[in-house]
Structure 1
Amino acid sequence: MSSGAFLIGGGREPEQVLPAHRPFVAACAGGPIACLIADEGEGVDADRWRTTLVDAGADDEDVRVVVLSAQRAIADADVDGVAGIYVAGGLTPLYLEVLAGWRPPAGVPYAGFSAGAAVAAEQAVVGGWRSADGLPVCPEESGEDLDVVTVRSGLGLVPFAIDVHAAQWGTLGRLVHVVQEGLAREGWALDEGALLVDGEIHGTGAAWHVGPDGRVRRVGPS
């Protein structure tokens, strides 16, 4: 499997989470993993993310937790010498803020969970729930504290847009809107439990591909 970008649509249950994480941990070949978590102001549940990686096969001592915040953006030293980079979930606009202007080192496997997957894109779907003319494109509670659908420059690891929690949060409509409006050329909307690697879906969840022509096709796990 690829040593590049491992994009995970979310999920809480072990039967969703572990199959989606094991390929990334295996790609890290037993080396250290930088686990990047954004603090929204109320602290972070570092044990959740560490336990997920350990249960997926990483050694506990190899998981290096790095807490980022609006006051503490990422630094190159945070990922120095690591065999993999894992970007956790949370508020997508904050993750884009703390990672702004940074690029993962070439050749180092990257895994993004939920927000971490969204920001990996060349054009990142940051949030929002209605179009510029005020029409809803997804549930308001899926807007990530944003009103109008917002797309910004992401990490550029993949050339298509990513949306997450597709079936669970109703975000497929937002991604279709993004492509139809020309904000991204194409995109993938990932269900919880879905892992996207090299254009293939793995794990326990499905996904929807929105092509440049606006056509939508559902893709199950390989």
Structure 2
Amino acid sequence: MALYLVGGGPSQATGPVIDRFVEAARQRGPRVAIAILGAQSEAGRYLDMYADPILARWPQALIEPIWLVDEDEGAVDWPAKPEELGGLIIAGGWTPGYLDALTPYRETISRLVRGGLAYLGFSAGAQVVAKRAIASGWQWRGRAVGPEVAGEGSTELTVREGLGLVGPSIDVHTNTQHLLERAIATVLAGHATSAVAIDEDTALVVDTSSGDTEVVGAGAVHWLNRDGNEVRVRVSVSGGTPASPLGAAG
């Protein structure tokens, strides 16, 4: 099975990767969980944004929301028998909050993905899969590496332990929020030896067995690797040269 990592939210341009996710989830069963940050009373209005593209392709899908709440609000109510889920979607939003809510379930998610669960992450849902996840921040060493609006409440670049499904750190909204330099700073700072920066309306598909990757969508994926005191950048687009293998987290 695969990870489907989208550099923004659901859009017409990401239709092909949603097609791929639905095809993969069908092979396991009709249950699709959608995890959204916040209590149902607050976050419920976002559910249709993620559920409707699935149901348009697969009317028989059984959508099971997961409301990712703070510890103070109680435990997260995960679906019964999660090993029988066909797919798991992690929505976009405030990345630090997603990390807080998902970290206690790191081993559960890893086990499910290793067992063949199809994983579709939008924006924050793509960032959190890394071993070292880019959580927030728009400056590094006092220098802007992105717009302040992308800082998600923090000034200095903050990288935290992620779900550990892939080795490189991942940044998103690369073209629309001008965040390529933040991904470069993540590598230069030593938080990770490599990073992947995904454009809006673009997805990186990762085969969880082989590590092989493919770019799908309208934009590009930037591959960053440390080379001494430099960072080497390579760009892949949909239909171009096959993308690089993506190593699993060690």
On whether the aligned pair clears a TM of 0.5, the verdict is yes
The CA deviation at 1:101 is: 2.6
Q: Which has the higher helix share?
A: 2
Give the Cα–Cα distance (whole angstroms) in 2 for the partners of residues 73 and 160 of structure 1: 30
User: Amino acid of the residue matched to residue 37 of structure 2?
Assistant: A
Partner SS for 1:90: coil
Residue number in structure 2 paired with 1:64: 64
- How far has the Cα of 1:80 moved from its partner? 4.7
Distance in 2, Cα, partners of 1:177 & 1:17: 28
Residue ranges of structure 1 left out of the alignment (5+ in a row)? none
Residue aligning to 1:47 = 48
User: Which residue number corresponds to residue 128 of structure 1?
Assistant: 137
Once the two structures are overlaid, the 10-residue window that deviates more, 206-215 or 39-48, is 39-48
Which digits, 9 at most, give the CA deviation of each residue in 1:89-113, with x for residues without a partner? 0110111111013131132121111
Q: 1:127, 1:150 within 8 Å by CA — same for their partners in 2?
A: yes
What one-letter code is carried by the residue in structure 1 that aligns with 2:233? Answer: V
- Give 2:232's aligned residue: 215
1:37/1:87 contact within 8 Å kept:
yes
Structure 2 stretches of 5 or more lacking a match?
A: 207-212, 240-250
Question: Per residue, is there more strand in 1 or in 2?
Answer: 2
Shift of 1:203: 2.1
Specify the code of the residue in structure 2 equivalent to 1:9: G
Kindly state the Cα deviation for residue 159 of structure 1 after the two structures are TM-superposed: 0.8
Is 1:50–1:65's contact at 8 Å kept on the other side of the alignment?
no
Alignment of 1:189 with 2:197, yes or no, is yes
Provide the rounded CA distance (Å) in 1 between the counterparts of 2:173 and 2:74: 27
Q: Which residue of 2 aligns with 1:21?
A: 18
Aligned match of 1:176:
184
Aligned to 2:8: 10
Task: For 1:176, give the aligned amino acid.
Answer: I
Which structure: larger Rg? 2
Letter in 2 for 1:8: V
Superimposed CA distance per residue, residues 41-79 of structure 1 (whole angstroms, 9 cap, x where no aligned partner): 843311111112223x23354221222222245455463
CA RMSD of aligned residues (A): 1.9
Q: Using the aligned pairs only, state the percent identity.
A: 34
Return 179-188 or 210-219, whichever deviates more: 210-219
Question: Residues 75-94 of structure 1: matches in 2 within 5 Å?
Answer: 77=79, 79-94=82-97
- TM-score after normalising by structure 1: 0.90
1:111 to 1:13, Cα distance in 2 relative to 1, 3 A: closer
How big is the shift at 1:206? 1.2
Offset at 1:127? 1.1
C-alpha change, 1:144 and 1:215, in structure 2 (3 Å) is same
SS of the equivalent of 2:105 reads coil
Distance 1:72 1:209 in 2: 39
> Which range moves more in the overlay, 140-149 or 77-86?
77-86
Q: Relative to structure 2, which stretch is displaced further, 5-14 or 173-182?
A: 5-14
